[in-house]
């Protein structure tokens, strides 16, 4: 929109202009870019951005949080050259098919489906009491090796 008051997607640092994609990464000594994750909890599946919090919300409608806090969380990673893997970590007994049926019934796009379910005694928490998604992503990567 002409003269819209929106933040620029570009950032300048050390005289170099960068496009802010929301990806985490670093440049090695040769200047090659290495991607290490996302700033926000989205994954790209088939060209479409999928919100992991939206998937969690749909699942929590069916399996609400208990007195001890959330009973499920979704972590994802994108193996090089492959479709992103979305893993559901949960303190309750449920299957991939059950989780995906709930997502389908909630009207979630067919491309946004859970790849695996891991039963845990408790979700890992940060010192703030929030879910430690980096820990879950690390576990998911280990499970898939």
For residue 80, the model assigns a pLDDT of 80
Closest CA to 100 of 92, 90, 85, 110: 110
12/7 Cα distance (integer angstroms): 13
Report yes or no on 82 lying in a domain: yes
Quickly tell me which residue has 């802010």 as its tokens: 20
Report the SS3 class of residue 134.
helix
Q: Which whole number is the average pLDDT over 27-37?
A: 77
Cβ neighbours of residue 104 under 8 Å, at least 6 residues apart?
A: 110
Phi, psi of 76 (to 5 degrees): -145, 155
For residue 66, the model assigns a pLDDT of 81
Domain residue limits at 79: 41-143
Report yes or no on 131 lying in a domain: yes
Quickly tell me which residue has 């994802």 as its tokens: 76
126/130 Cα distance (integer angstroms): 5
Report yes or no on 25 lying in a domain: no
Cβ neighbours of residue 13 under 8 Å, at least 6 residues apart?
A: none
Report yes or no on 112 lying in a domain: yes
Per-residue pLDDT band for 12 (boundaries 50, 70, 90) equals confident
Percent of the chain predicted with pLDDT > 70: 86
What confidence tens digit (pLDDT) does each residue in 70-101 have?
899 999 988 888 889 999 999 999 999 999 99
What confidence tens digit (pLDDT) does each residue in 33-59 have?
776 655 578 888 888 888 899 999 999
Report yes or no on 111 lying in a domain: yes
For residue 37, the model assigns a pLDDT of 59
The total of structural domains in the chain comes to: 1
Report yes or no on 46 lying in a domain: yes
Report yes or no on 73 lying in a domain: yes
- For the domain that residue 115 is a member of, what is the CATH number? 3.30.300.30
| Arithmetic mean of pLDDT over the chain | 86
Report yes or no on 30 lying in a domain: no
């Amino acid at each position: 929109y002409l003269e819209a008051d929106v933040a620029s997607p570009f950032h300048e640092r050390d005289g170099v202009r960068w496009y802010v994609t929301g990806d985490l990464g670093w440049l090695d000594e040769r200047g090659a870019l290495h991607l290490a994750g996302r700033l926000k909890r989205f994954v790209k599946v088939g060209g479409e951005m999928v919100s992991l919090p939206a998937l969690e919300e749909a699942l929590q409608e069916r399996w609400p949080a208990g007195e001890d806090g959330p009973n499920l969380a979704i972590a994802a990673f994108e193996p090089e050259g492959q479709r992103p893997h979305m893993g559901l970590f949960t303190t309750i007994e449920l299957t991939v098919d059950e989780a995906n049926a709930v997502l389908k019934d909630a009207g979630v796009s067919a491309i946004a489906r859970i790849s695996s379910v891991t039963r845990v005694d408790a979700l890992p928490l940060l010192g703030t009491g929030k879910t430690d998604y980096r820990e879950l992503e690390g576990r998911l990567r280990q499970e898939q090796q």
